[in-house]
Amino acid sequence: MSLSVVHLLGAFPVLYERAVLEEIAAARALGIRHAVVASNAAPDPLPPEFLPLARDVEFLDLGRRHGRALSAFLNLVAGMISGLRARDFAALRRPADVGRRARLRYILALDPPHLLHAHFGHLGLLALPVAESLNLPLVVSCRGQDVAILRSRPDRDRERLFAAAARILARSDFMRDELLRMGAAAGKVRTLPSGVNLQTLPFAERRHPGRPGRITLLAVGRLTPKKGLDVALRAFAQLPGAPLLRIIGDGPERLRLRALAADLRVADRVAFPGALPRAAVILEMLNAHLFLQPSRTAPDGDHEGVPNTLKEAQATGLPVVATRHAGIPECVDDGRSGFLVAENNPDELAKRLIRLLNAPELWAPLGRHGRRIIEERYDLHRLAPELVELYHDVTGRRPSQPLTGQVAVPGPSA
């Protein structure tokens, strides 16, 4: 019988977390039997290529549409039916999480998997007492914002998670070092980046379009403070030649960024198309000439892992200008696939952009090197077997055949 893994997610499906879906699909293609448990249903439509992942999704927040109190009560009843134990109440000590934990234990006890994989650090805290009560190995992935959440929790909760988790996966070396500083044991923390599906990311060398006003700069991501897009707008306002800027995505900063573009008198050259389907985002990348990733640490401590949109942009051949932030320098070779600048520095960002605008002969070699970086460091087909091998190591169950060959990973829907 093949190894079975339950993947614990937050809201499902969330299109900004496509990397998680691709990772699960890649493990499934390598023979892992999977099930998905999510905290609650999200309004995002699930891309058709991931429909096989959603056939048996279970949600923790029963009755959420009728209110949190009813949801917590129903979850608690489910936990009582499954035989809730005292330690299932431990760790977060919040009523809503007691209900979610009870519901999780009920789901897992019906058909226990070989392993539970919590895809964010705070979900590891949620799952830990349940995994302990059912004697399930627990793997926890830390991806970015969840590290700041872990840091904000009581020391005893982090210490318990670090001691009991079978493995903790950091998505960059920067994040691994951060987890070690927080007290995680070096033998348990492993850097395993999120991969991208290169089969869905065509490469094209960038050329000058012939007129400066047709040069297009691109930024892609959820519009939150850590993305630093206000800095991008301030830098963009300094550029000569009237290039265009397209900011793809949606989020709480949308109205503020629109107002800032108007204040800077560049609103007529800045487009906010909102969140777009995967295929449309790839087309945006292929039609752009330069990519911006001015990420920074947000006031609440939120920071990046390594943004998947940055990996995808480089995979398509886009030269990038990004910040020396979190794991980004592990993905961008300064001066070879693009340029790195300090966080929150629109003047330095503008200076690097002007250099690239004035030297289009650099675009093609920068793009070629960027593609090589993604092929060598972030190819999902290389990384998925490492994840599956880790699952086998943790459970002590050896695969029936070597994990080699191509991984069939879904492509984007049109």
Distance set, CA 32 to CA 28, 119, 184, 345, 378 (Å)? 5, 16, 28, 45, 21
Q: 248 with 357, same domain?
A: yes
Residue 407 lies in a domain: no
pLDDT at 261: 98
Q: 46 with 138, same domain?
A: yes
Asked if 175 and 154 touch (Cβ cutoff 8 Å), the reply is no
User: Would you place residue 38 in the very low, low, confident or very high pLDDT band (cuts 50, 70, 90)?
Assistant: very high
pLDDT at 91: 41
Residue 410 lies in a domain: no
Residue 403 lies in a domain: no
Asked if 286 and 204 touch (Cβ cutoff 8 Å), the reply is yes
pLDDT at 182: 96
pLDDT digits (tens, 9 = 90+) for 223-240: 999 999 999 999 999 999
Q: 389 with 367, same domain?
A: no
Q: 250 with 334, same domain?
A: yes
388-413 burial by CB neighbour count: b if 16+ within 10 A, else e? bebbbebbeeebeeeeeeebebbebe
Q: 187 with 308, same domain?
A: no
pLDDT digits (tens, 9 = 90+) for 287-313: 999 999 999 999 988 999 999 999 999
Q: Beta strands 33-41 and 58-59: pairing type?
A: parallel
Structural domains of the chain, count: 2
> Which of 58-67, 185-194, 195-204 has the lowest average pLDDT?
58-67
pLDDT digits (tens, 9 = 90+) for 395-406: 998 776 655 544
Residue 401 lies in a domain: no
For 1, other C-beta atoms within 10 Å of its C-beta total 7
User: Would you place residue 76 in the very low, low, confident or very high pLDDT band (cuts 50, 70, 90)?
Assistant: low
pLDDT at 398: 78
Averaged pLDDT for residues 355-367: 98
Cross-strand pairs, 379? 196
Q: 94 with 176, same domain?
A: yes
Residue 406 lies in a domain: no
Residue 124 lies in a domain: yes
User: Would you place residue 75 in the very low, low, confident or very high pLDDT band (cuts 50, 70, 90)?
Assistant: low
Cross-strand pairs, 248? 220, 274
Q: 116 with 172, same domain?
A: yes
Q: Is the pLDDT of residue 24 over 60?
A: yes
Rounded distance between C-alpha atoms, residue 377 and residue 393, angstroms = 22
Q: What is the pTM of this model?
A: 0.91
Tokens (6 digits) for 44: 């995002």
Q: Is the pLDDT of residue 165 over 90?
A: yes
pLDDT at 174: 96
Q: Is the pLDDT of residue 414 over 50?
A: no
Residue 209 lies in a domain: yes
Q: Beta strands 138-142 and 167-170: pairing type?
A: parallel
Q: 220 with 189, same domain?
A: no
Percent of the chain surpassing pLDDT 70: 88
Rounded distance between C-alpha atoms, residue 270 and residue 248, angstroms = 11
Q: 248 with 170, same domain?
A: no
Rounded distance between C-alpha atoms, residue 376 and residue 381, angstroms = 11
pLDDT digits (tens, 9 = 90+) for 168-191: 999 999 999 999 999 999 999 999
Residue 409 lies in a domain: no
Report the CATH number at residue 181: 3.40.50.2000
Q: 189 with 240, same domain?
A: no
pLDDT at 399: 74
pLDDT digits (tens, 9 = 90+) for 245-300: 999 999 999 999 999 999 999 999 999 999 999 999 999 999 999 999 999 999 98
Burial class of 268 by CB neighbour count within 10 A (0 to 12, 13 to 18, 19+) = exposed
Q: Give residue 260's domain range.
A: 198-375
Selection from 225, 269, 214 nearest residue 247 by Cα:
269
- Give 29 or 95, the one with higher predicted confidence: 29
Give the chain's mean pLDDT. 90
Q: 150 with 70, same domain?
A: yes
Rounded distance between C-alpha atoms, residue 54 and residue 8, angstroms = 13
Q: Is the pLDDT of residue 32 over 60?
A: yes
Q: Is the pLDDT of residue 407 over 80?
A: no
Tokens (6 digits) for 49: 């290529």
Q: 138 with 100, same domain?
A: yes
